[in-house]
Amino acid sequence: MTTYVLTVNCHSTRGIVAAIANYLADSGCNLTDSNQYDDLLTGQFFMRVTFVSQTGATLDSLKAGFEPVAQEFDMEWAIHDAEKKVKVLLMVSNFGHCLNDLLYRWRIGALPVEIVGVVSNHMTYQKVVVNHDIPFHHIKVTKENKPEGEGDLLDVVEESGGELVVLAGYMIQSDKICQKMSGKIIKIHHSFLARFKGGNPYKQVYERGVKLIGVTSHYVITALARRTDHRAGNRPHHPCAKPRGLRQPRPRCRGAGARPGDPRPCAAPRLHQR
């Protein structure tokens, strides 16, 4: 039996869960996993349901049948075949811990995605990427060539067929890209924020004696893209450069499980992970 994933985002009101459950039951489907969340601040409702069709219903028929339910509650929604691998484009700068972790998990089959390419503004990890038989794209974006660089990046996304962009230690500061690829870009970075802010959080953490850190991820939106790049202070010879005695942390980066096109939850991203 084929496993499907339904993700929903809409205004919170009564009857949503019942309508979804009744539709799936009437369509011959059995729920295998269900998560839901109400954001009391925004009044938004989020739900992620995993189910199997016990009658052989196709993806197209399930989508067509769900349309009236979605219209009734004005939903942003998507149904995906859980077995279909998402086409992911990775982006990395000069620190490779997130990239290396993602490549390792992909290589051993722990990260069920199809990596269609890696984009970087440096050549640092070209050999690493090429050795994995993955296309490497060097796109240098500066203030002088920003329009051309952004155009080249969007061309790579389109030509590679990338459905999801994962920023594995890379910063996008472009309203154009954020708007054009809304809900299709995820950023992975350290979990210092919001306690350690500014251009060099590593220096602050080192001085405070923090021994253990983690990682976090979020959908990239215009408001977040405009924030100061937290990696800006980690350049050689910068006045606030990372102390020589502090090793680059090796966080356990969680694989990005969100599907492109899924609603962008602000408070409950875990509900939209595969």
- Active-site residues, by number, are 189
Cα separation, 4 vs 81, whole angstroms: 5
Beta-carbon contacts of 259 under 8 Å, excluding residues fewer than 6 positions away, are: 5, 7, 78, 80, 86, 163, 164, 272, 274
Q: Position of tokens 């054009």?
A: 180
From the list 172, 196, 169, 171, the residue with the least C-alpha distance to 251 is 169
Cα separation, 130 vs 112, whole angstroms: 20
Residue type at 131? N
